[in-house]
Amino acid sequence: MTSNPFEPGAARPQAMDGAFSFEEVALANRNSGALLETLGQDITPTGTHYLLNHFDVPLIDEAVHVLSFGGAFDAPFSLTLAELRALPLITRPVTLECAGNGRAGVTPRCFSMPWMYEAVGTSQWTGTLLAPLLERAKPQAGVQDFAFIGADFGFDKGQPHFFGRSLTPDQIAELEVMLVWGMNDAPLLPQHGAPLRIIVPGWYGMASVKWLTRIEALTQRYQGFQQVQTYRYRANAEDPGRPVTTMRVKSLMKPPGVPDWVTRQRWMQEGAVTIEGRAWSGGGAAIQSVEVWTGEAWHQAELTGRQDHYAWTGWRFDWHPKPGVYDLACRATDANGQVQPLEAPFDLAGFANNAVHRVRLYVVEKP
């Protein structure tokens, strides 16, 4: 790492394994994860939805905030929040997962937010569809990309930028992107992008730009840092990579039993227990099955359904363990036949680690 993080070419600390560094712990304190005990519910309680904020959270006065459409539009305009609220409303539960979820389980790990399993959640998002507004602004014939620019500014690898991402006209036609200002029947909170963000259903979370201030139509592809310099699958440092887009098939369980305070190891007395959780995949693909490993075999879980095309699916498995130590796991298969792997393919930045969720459970005799 160069000593000055604001110099062009400034690198991140070395990838590593084992103990977490001071800086990783500081990032983890800012970017909280979901509580796994909420995985029995379709909607993640608002205050427990995970957070991933690269820079400082901008505190924006919604009374003066405007969203502007600019660049290669023939009829560019701006909208206040009051004007947006008068547009046709849509409320939809959408599951968001951070592309870095699972990074702490990748060896060697990339120096970044060290998520274990918890960077995923489902909220009821309220807003309006984006596509009709882009049409109203009349994109010019040669438009190749729409860039979505947030109000948060900072540095990464020595490069200053506003957080921004883009989608092509074809992606906009396919994805049912929403402009949202409400979360679970309440105003969007500052840390989740208030007063206005986008939601790109079925994709990893980086596409869902928060604190949205500007939409720019471009006649070339957008070259913003968060679009081209990161969020690419790369096997090694020379690999130009492929862009990270839709979520990979994955499932998580609500850890059974009760925890030990510091180790979080689980404990229960012998008897009946229901193992339950949630499973999801990208691009709206349905979950076809979830299996639970109890130490000797995979057992089919019962699927309890999903609320929406872009929301996760509930599942449960009734079990009656004898005393012993169990290394439980769950794995999902989606309608495209994609199966959650025991170990995910290596990625240099630790993106999209969808390896099975493992939980150790100690079952003891009834006294």
Ligand X SMILES: Nc1nc2c(c(=O)[nH]1)N[C@H]1C(S)=C(S)[C@@H](COP(=O)(O)O)O[C@H]1N2
Binding site for ligand X (CB under 6 A): 49-54, 96, 98, 150, 152, 163, 192, 205-206, 208-211
Strands (E), 254-312: 258-259, 266-269, 273-280, 287-293, 298-300, 302-306
DSSP-derived pairing of the beta strands 66-71 and 212-218: parallel
- Sheet with 212-218: list strands edge to edge: 78-80, 66-71, 212-218, 145-156, 159-167
Identify which of residues 139 and 193 has a Cβ nearer to ligand X in the complex: 193
Q: Distances from the Cα of 43 to the Cαs of 192, 213, 303, in angstroms?
A: 16, 28, 16
Shortest distance (Å) from residue 120 CB to Mo ion: 10
Shortest distance (Å) from residue 27 CB to Mo ion: 12
Residue 29 is which amino acid? N
Identify which of residues 123 and 313 has a Cβ nearer to ligand X in the complex: 123
121 near Mo ion, judged by CB under 5 A: no
Per partner kind, with CB cut-offs from 5 to 8 A, the member of ligand X, Mo ion, none near residue 211 is ligand X
Contact (CB, 8 A) for 330 and 319: no
Identify which of residues 30 and 85 has a Cβ nearer to Mo ion in the complex: 30
| Residues contacting 296, CB < 8 A, separation 6+ | none
350 near Mo ion, judged by CB under 5 A: no
Q: Which stretch binds Mo ion (CB under 5 A): 35-43, 96-104, 152-160, 222-230?
A: 96-104
Assign 363 to helix, strand or coil: strand
Identify which of residues 134 and 167 has a Cβ nearer to Mo ion in the complex: 167
- Among residues 36, 79, 96, 98, the one that binds Mo ion under rule CB under 5 A: 98
- Among residues 27, 36, 52, 253, the one that binds Mo ion under rule CB under 5 A: 52
- Token readout for 212 is 């949205």
Shortest distance (Å) from residue 51 CB to ligand X: 4
Shortest distance (Å) from residue 12 CB to ligand X: 16
Per partner kind, with CB cut-offs from 5 to 8 A, the member of Mo ion, ligand X, none near residue 96 is ligand X
Alpha carbon distance 97, 108 (integer Å): 22
Identify which of residues 98 and 332 has a Cβ nearer to ligand X in the complex: 98
Identify which of residues 102 and 205 has a Cβ nearer to Mo ion in the complex: 205
* Nearest residue to Mo ion on Cβ basis: 98
Contact (CB, 8 A) for 70 and 76: yes
Shortest distance (Å) from residue 191 CB to ligand X: 6
Residues numbered 175 to 214 that lie near Mo ion (CB under 5 A) are 205-206
What are the beta bridge partners of residue 179? Answer: 128, 198
- Residue among 187, 182, 176, 24 nearest 115 (CA): 24
104 near Mo ion, judged by CB under 5 A: no
Q: Which residues bind Mo ion (CB under 5 A)?
A: 52, 98, 205-206
